[in-house]
Amino acid sequence: MPYVNIRITREGATADQKAELIKGVTELLETVLNKNPATTVVTIDELETDNWGIGGESISVRRKRGH
């Protein structure tokens, strides 16, 4: 019954990788807290790099600076 929201920048995660995240998080909640995987919901939000900031600047700007 848990709900997990994973937010990342949109930089090419494949369907297979997203499936791995869904599977991995669901298993983790079963292992650690004995949560029923059948009702564990996982959502993934992919945001443009202009729409994500850390350290006061956007990821777009950081990428240009070589981060």
What residues act catalytically?
2
Counting residues that bind its own copies (by CB under 8 A) gives 51
Q: Which residues of 5-21 are buried (b: 16+ CB within 10 A; e: fewer)?
A: eeeebeeeeeeeeeeee
Smallest distance from its own copies to CB 48, Å: 9
Query: Rule CB under 8 A: is residue 10 a binding residue for its own copies?
Result: no
Per-residue DSSP letter, 12? -
- 38 or 66: whose CB is closer to its own copies? 38
Query: Rule CB under 8 A: is residue 65 a binding residue for its own copies?
Result: no
49/44 Cα distance (integer angstroms): 15
Picking from 46, 50, 48, the residue whose alpha carbon sits closest to that of residue 62 is 50
Query: What residues line the site for its own copies (CB under 8 A)?
Result: 1-9, 13, 15, 17-29, 31-33, 35, 37-47, 50-61
